[in-house]
Amino acid sequence: MKCNKCNADKTENDFYTYKRKAYPDRVYRNTICKECQKAGTKRWNRENPEKARELDRLKKRRKRFRKLGITEKDFAGMKKSQKGRCAICGDKPKILCVDHDHETGDVRGLLCNGCNVALGYLKDNPKTAEAAAAYLLAKKVE
């Protein structure tokens, strides 16, 4: 095959493959070789750093959502029902984290980063959380 960008003769393995939703059983080959594709992507990322960062952030977010089994629409609905606030402390942070049960994988709600990290340190254990609350209440009284 010949690359449409560098005009070099290359093997089929030097080109990325992709599928189309309309024809899921067919495999298509890109007309630009992997080297030219990567060089073009690097150039675009250098010329558009803000857009590149935003696209990277969106990719990571979608990957996380897929892993948790929710969609952007589900997230937006949860955010709206919580009025953009953390389910624990009630703060209204710029970014809300999706909290989930590590045993079942069920999504519990949206939390600020601090509350999400705190639950992680408490190992999602209600008894440890109660002990921490009791400790804090006892120290306030003294």
CATH number at residue 110: 3.40.1800.10
- pLDDT at position 139 is 74
Tokens of 138: 């006892």
Query: What is the band of 142 on the pLDDT scale with cuts at 50, 70, 90?
Result: low
Tokens of 43: 């150039």
Identify the domain boundary among 30, 47, 64: 47
Number of compact structural domains in the chain: 2
What is the C-alpha separation between 85 and 39, in angstroms, rounded?
42
Helices (H), the chain: 34-47, 49-68, 72-81, 113-121, 126-141
Query: For the segment 4-48, what is each residue's pLDDT rounded down to a tens digit?
Result: 999 999 999 999 999 998 998 999 999 999 999 999 999 999 999
Q: Could you tell me if 96 and 132 lie in one domain?
A: yes
Q: Could you tell me if 37 and 87 lie in one domain?
A: no
Q: Residue 141 above 90 pLDDT?
A: no
Q: Which of 43-47, 102-106, 124-128, 138-142 has the lowest mean pLDDT?
A: 138-142
Can you give the residue range of the structural domain that contains 28?
1-47
What is the C-alpha separation between 104 and 60, in angstroms, rounded?
22
Identify the domain boundary among 47, 62, 77: 47
Q: Could you tell me if 23 and 87 lie in one domain?
A: no
* pTM for this predicted structure: 0.65
Q: Could you tell me if 87 and 137 lie in one domain?
A: yes
Q: Could you tell me if 41 and 59 lie in one domain?
A: no
